[in-house]
Structure 1
């Protein structure tokens, strides 16, 4: 008498989390903390794999085409996820090919210069940009990405002409700033802690609703209104991942975001934790899709 095969209980091997960006950026730093704490709730290791290229499309496509078995996940952000579809012919469908597992947090971008920069304030930067249109270089993390979009919004709001230079992620963009290859860049809190301690950079403004650095004004204080400069960080799985696997992953991330060690380590990066379930974030994804279509239409038809 034969019996049905016994299926292994997920996960029976390490889970890979693909980051479609370069090393040293905020996603990389956040992921290192996630993967150091979540194994106790997943009962398996989680491995980070950096796969930058094509503005994030290379790594995203890799996950979209991977088996929907829960062993390959994507750690993405809102601009890459829901905005790129309106500016590029993507080799995947972000809404059809992925399902959200969890949002971990969201973070406001800051405008950053080297410590030896002549710009002491955001107003100094704007004044020079107006005096020398098209001459100031802003290094960003990729076209239509987490820094390109707020930069374009600020340029539109203030009628500035900046030279936007793409790099494969926030880490490389910051290295370009530090090496003198750009005049300014943007960065998230997790990328700034050690640089501020070392006295390497100066922050001119932040996109937060309230000040996250006591002596740094917010964009709102500077008269720039709107949803500018926020990046949501979340985990996606390929569509078709079995419901029981999704449930296991969601349960592990739900435990992660309330873990005291995780909270402490995220605090060392200057990062908040603002989790959403996969179902909650799916609602927000759909709203973002509409908002970003309107934004791209506005930025590309003027």
Structure 2
């Protein structure tokens, strides 16, 4: 064997030894969890609840860092470029890791440039309307919209938001047509809905339920297969007469592509342990988040789940020509 080949063989051998050694010692310092939105919102709150408990299993602090901007794109770009050593990961959501790929020109691939780690929580939407809307149930709402094509208005938290895309899906399934009114967030949209200035919304339970319970707006259905524990009297879309209209936001943990499998396994196990804690579940429920079943929290399941979400929503978004320059 030539000296050159001996050096190459030695280098390969050292690399093979280094990978397991690194995985065995991981983590040896705090981990940064990048959250793609400002502090105080539901994604930030969810991330902090889970991250705080993950430290028990990891033996290291998980530091939450908020990097807002570009609908989560700035945070995603940063993590996509980070070293795949497990010390920089992010909270991804339906927007950052599904919808954005169809709406924006991104400097990264939402699937190929990330490593799935764990699926954390899900938050279905509510179909709600102003009390001025004459319909008292979902079938009546669809009939009223069909009888008044192009006249009704749906409020959204912005172009390409889950509520906006959910409305497009609703139009596609029912054949109704109406207009969208984008707002700078859910709060001003909900204010106008309660005042009767717009007709309907596809909204998060955390924003809608206080108004539903106060009697200022009307709820027709939850866009999921099961009813909300926090509002068991609101039927599912299946029960209300529009089966299959499933629309949910979700949160998950991703890292840069190329992460060591054993490092991913440690992060996945820490997330699962945190999500199994009764206090964590209760705190997440208080902000409208349901924890996925243990068998659906894994990195492997998240990869499959993201594939399915991309296949479902990408054509819906592109067919509706939803774009943000």
Q: TM-score range by the shorter chain?
A: 0.7 to 0.9
Is 1:105 the counterpart of 2:121? The answer is yes
Name the residue aligned to 1:290. Answer: 311
Q: Residues 42 and 145 of structure 1: is their aligned pair in 2 closer, same or farther, counting only changes over 3 Å?
A: farther
CA-CA distance at 1:149 after TM superposition: 1.9
CA-CA distance at 1:111 after TM superposition: 1.9
Name the residue aligned to 1:118. Answer: 132
Unpaired runs of 5+ residues, structure 1, are: none
Quick one: distance in 2 between partners of 1:177 and 1:66?
Answer: 38
Name the residue aligned to 1:246. Answer: 264
Name the residue aligned to 1:177. Answer: 190
Quick one: distance in 2 between partners of 1:54 and 1:126?
Answer: 34
Query: How big is the alpha-carbon RMSD for the aligned residues of Structure 1 and Structure 2?
Result: 3.5
Q: TM-score, normalised by structure 2?
A: 0.74
Name the residue aligned to 2:57. Answer: 41
Q: Residues 197 and 297 of structure 1: is their aligned pair in 2 closer, same or farther, counting only changes over 3 Å?
A: closer
Q: TM-score, normalised by structure 1?
A: 0.78
Q: Deviations over 1:16-74 (max 9, x none)?
A: 231x3456654234223223322222333334344443333233223223333333322
> How do 1:183-198 and structure 2 match up within 5 A?
183-192=199-208
CA-CA distance at 1:235 after TM superposition: 0.9
Name the residue aligned to 1:10. Answer: 27
Is 1:159 the counterpart of 2:172? The answer is no
Name the residue aligned to 2:250. Answer: 232
Quick one: distance in 2 between partners of 1:297 and 1:61?
Answer: 22
CA-CA distance at 1:177 after TM superposition: 1.5
Quick one: distance in 2 between partners of 1:73 and 1:182?
Answer: 39
SS across alignment from 2:302 = helix
The more displaced of 67-76 and 278-287 is: 67-76
Unpaired runs of 5+ residues, structure 2, are: 1-17
Q: Which has the larger radius of gyration?
A: 2
